[in-house]
Chains A and B, each alone.
Chain A
Amino acid sequence: MPKYMFIMRTTAEALEASKDLDFEEIINAMGAYNESMVTAGVMAGGDGLTDAKEGFVVDFSADKPVITDGPYGEVHELFNGFWIVDVSSREEAAEWASRAPLGPGSKLEVRRITDESDFADFADNEYIEKEKEWRAAGL
């Protein structure tokens, strides 16, 4: 079964507007959504992210990496959380994603997570081998 990541992206305006909402209601809606995926046996991980203002960006455009405070680029959409689901198909991933309790200004980008088979052509590569060892060691 493939794993997918649901990347939550929300416009700065929608995020600002959500601060007026009852936070407990949001927690309850998210909790019910997460619970439905747990009891379906598909939830494989996920976390929310703190305010993008607390973060920083390392930019590789110049000769040396440049660190700037705050969120990435021109802020249209902020990445503010993710889920990892272990599902049977792309269609099932789409079904679960469309059930997230999100509103206008929010999007979920759904991406399949690579596994060993995606690197099958490079099975002999030293770092692909090392990566297996790192994973085995729990790193």
Chain B
Amino acid sequence: MARGRPVTDVTRTVDAIWRIESRRIVGALARMTGDLGLAEDLAQEAVADALVQWPESGVPDNPGAWLTAVAKRKAIDGWRRRERLDERYRAIAHDLEEAVDDSPELIHDDALRLIFTACHPVLGPEAQVALTLRVVGGLSTEELARLFLVPVPTMQQRIVRAKKTLTAARVPFEAPAPTQWAARLSTVLGVIYLVFSEGYSATSGDRLIRTDLAREALRLGRALAGLLPREPEVHGLVALMELQSSRFRARVADDGSAILLDDQDRSRWDAAHIRRGREALARADALGQGRASYSLQAAIAEAHAVAPSVDETDWERIVVLYEALGRLNPNPVVELNRAIAVSKAVDPEAGLQIVDTIARDDALRGSYLLPSVRGELLAQLGRIEEARSEFTTAVRLVTNEQQRAVLVAKLERLAPLS
């Protein structure tokens, strides 16, 4: 029996169902075939059938089960037809004809296997991102192409290659072994944060922030938190993304240019995101395993989120958090941020000493970040000529147009040449 609703735009309905059901459909098929790439191919063929049949027959009562059943039948047909031709089909497990097991535990486990397989280390970051959003996030290839500003065939190719790689590397459809768990989870979190960062600070396109992309990352993060509620860093990542999302509206001026934290109108920060971010951080803390990288970054974002102004920010706390972060992940960018925090908590001179140490280590050569921060601190110390020279270097090195505009403005604000 078809559900009683108008079949005005079946494509949109199929997209909505894929959104909700992709994980379950591809997860079940991948478990049966042991091959995520093949499972996604089969699911695609089933979706193509739905687009042809549903306008006539109406949307079935349980569209997810319909798609899974059709895909499964295709697997069996393909296996029979191509048994001798395509060794991929030989991998199909013998229990393929058995009823689909729909227990919540299995659906839960399939979803996890799906995430870990889509983010498998044999794939490059672009492939991990595309495949994860496609099968875990349930985005259509067209949506993905639009989000990443590439032509649809390019995105199709990216997904096809990702699937081929998984098959070629014979990546099993399973969650990682306990000894690999931490490293593999860290890869998954990295993939989600990569999607978010591309949205938060777009490296391509004419917009500084791509909210749609950041929101997909947040949705993935919340989903993962629902699947792995006992992993503190999953909550830490959600907290970090929520807290950073709270500044979206305040970060971009009407003309599209960037507004730095110091200059943002804090009344435009989104309180709902801040509240959810703080709640997520509290959930991470409540697990009692201490704060790792994402939780520490979230705690820094929280310290900013609760401060009424730059001057009233608890900079000493931020310094301590950056010190902890730097010990866990020694990284010159973290060190540079610590220098900024120290310059506010103590004085610009103390911050400059840290920056000079980074400069001596030559760790950030070629990046505009170091001269930009050094210029800022020198300007605060009244060493205008040196500041001018640093800002000029930063302008030469920066690649993002909006960030260049910020640096040029800083250069112009310096006192004129005497």
Which residues of chain A have a CB within 8 Å of any CB of chain B?
1, 32, 35, 38-43, 86-89, 91-92, 94-96, 98, 116, 132-133, 135-139
Q: A40 and B20: CB pair below 8 A? A: yes
Q: In angstroms, how far is the closest chain B Cβ from the Cβ of A84?
A: 11
Interface centre among A87, A92, A116, A138 (most CB of B within 10 A): A92
Provide a sorted-by-A list of 6 A–B residue pairs whose CB atoms are within 8 angstroms: A35-B226, A40-B20, A89-B12, A91-B12, A92-B16, A95-B17
B76 beta carbon closer than 8 Å to chain A: no
Q: In angstroms, how far is the closest chain A Cβ from the Cβ of B7?
A: 12
List A contacts of B9 (CB < 8 A). 91
Closest 5 CB pairs of A and B: A41-B223, A91-B16, A39-B226, A41-B222, A41-B219
Once the chains are docked, how many angstroms separate the CA of A89 from the CA of B222?
Answer: 18
Q: B104 and A137: CB pair below 8 A? A: no
List B contacts of A39 (CB < 8 A). 108, 111, 223, 226-227
Q: A94 and B15: CB pair below 8 A? A: no
Q: B271 and A138: CB pair below 8 A? A: yes
List B contacts of A87 (CB < 8 A). 19
Once the chains are docked, how many angstroms separate the CA of A128 from the CA of B266?
Answer: 16
Once the chains are docked, how many angstroms separate the CA of A116 from the CA of B272?
Answer: 13
List B contacts of A132 (CB < 8 A). 267-268
Task: Take A91-B12, A95-B20 as given contacts and tell me if A41 and B218 are in contact as well, using a CB distance cutoff of 8 Å.
Answer: yes
Task: Take A136-B269, A138-B275 as given contacts and tell me if A98 and B3 are in contact as well, using a CB distance cutoff of 8 Å.
Answer: yes
B221 beta carbon closer than 8 Å to chain A: yes
Once the chains are docked, how many angstroms separate the CA of A95 from the CA of B215?
Answer: 20
Within 8 Å by CB of B20, from A96, A137, A138, A139, lies A96
Once the chains are docked, how many angstroms separate the CA of A136 from the CA of B269?
Answer: 6
Main SS of the interface on chain B?
A: helix
Q: How many interface contacts (CB-CB < 8 Å) are there between A and B?
A: 69
List A contacts of B222 (CB < 8 A). 38, 41, 43
Once the chains are docked, how many angstroms separate the CA of A43 from the CA of B276?
Answer: 12
Q: In angstroms, how far is the closest chain B Cβ from the Cβ of A135?
A: 5
Task: Take A39-B226, A41-B226, A89-B16 as given contacts and tell me if A136 and B219 are in contact as well, using a CB distance cutoff of 8 Å.
Answer: no
Q: In angstroms, how far is the closest chain A Cβ from the Cβ of B243?
A: 14
- CB-CB contacts below 8 Å: B228-272 with A: 249, 266-272
Once the chains are docked, how many angstroms separate the CA of A128 from the CA of B174?
Answer: 51
Once the chains are docked, how many angstroms separate the CA of A126 from the CA of B12?
Answer: 39
Within 8 Å by CB of B13, from A1, A88, A91, A136, lies A91
Once the chains are docked, how many angstroms separate the CA of A124 from the CA of B229?
Answer: 43
Within 8 Å by CB of A32, from B5, B104, B227, B249, lies B104
B274 beta carbon closer than 8 Å to chain A: yes
Once the chains are docked, how many angstroms separate the CA of A139 from the CA of B275?
Answer: 11
Main SS of the interface on chain A?
A: helix
Once the chains are docked, how many angstroms separate the CA of A89 from the CA of B15?
Answer: 9
Once the chains are docked, how many angstroms separate the CA of A87 from the CA of B222?
Answer: 13
**Interface size grouping (class) on chain B:** 20 to 34
Once the chains are docked, how many angstroms separate the CA of A80 from the CA of B249?
Answer: 35
Once the chains are docked, how many angstroms separate the CA of A98 from the CA of B64?
Answer: 13
Q: A88 and B223: CB pair below 8 A? A: no
Once the chains are docked, how many angstroms separate the CA of A116 from the CA of B271?
Answer: 13
Nearest A-chain residue to B19, judged by Cβ: A92
Nearest A-chain residue to B143, judged by Cβ: A88
List A contacts of B340 (CB < 8 A). none
Once the chains are docked, how many angstroms separate the CA of A96 from the CA of B138?
Answer: 14
- CB-CB contacts below 8 Å: B335-368 with A: none
List B contacts of A91 (CB < 8 A). 9, 12-13, 15-16
Q: B15 and A38: CB pair below 8 A? A: no
List A contacts of B108 (CB < 8 A). 39
Task: Take A1-B215, A39-B227, A41-B222 as given contacts and tell me if A94 and B16 are in contact as well, using a CB distance cutoff of 8 Å.
Answer: yes
Q: A133 and B267: CB pair below 8 A? A: yes
Within 8 Å by CB of B271, from A35, A96, A136, lies A136
20 new A-B pairs (CB below 8 Å) besides A41-B222, A87-B19? A1-B215, A39-B226, A40-B223, A40-B226, A41-B219, A41-B220, A42-B219, A88-B19, A89-B15, A89-B16, A89-B19, A91-B9, A92-B19, A94-B5, A95-B20, A135-B270, A135-B271, A137-B271, A138-B274, A139-B271
Nearest A-chain residue to B276, judged by Cβ: A44
Q: B20 and A92: CB pair below 8 A? A: yes
Once the chains are docked, how many angstroms separate the CA of A96 from the CA of B227?
Answer: 19
Interface centre among A88, A132, A138 (most CB of B within 10 A): A88
Once the chains are docked, how many angstroms separate the CA of A75 from the CA of B5?
Answer: 27
Q: In angstroms, how far is the closest chain B Cβ from the Cβ of A52?
A: 29
Q: In angstroms, how far is the closest chain A Cβ from the Cβ of B18?
A: 10
Q: In angstroms, how far is the closest chain A Cβ from the Cβ of B26?
A: 14
Within 8 Å by CB of A86, from B212, B219, B221, lies B219
Q: B17 and A136: CB pair below 8 A? A: no
Nearest A-chain residue to B13, judged by Cβ: A91
Once the chains are docked, how many angstroms separate the CA of A88 from the CA of B268?
Answer: 24
List A contacts of B19 (CB < 8 A). 87-89, 92, 95
Within 8 Å by CB of A41, from B12, B212, B221, B268, lies B221
Once the chains are docked, how many angstroms separate the CA of A92 from the CA of B227?
Answer: 21
Q: In angstroms, how far is the closest chain B Cβ from the Cβ of A30?
A: 14
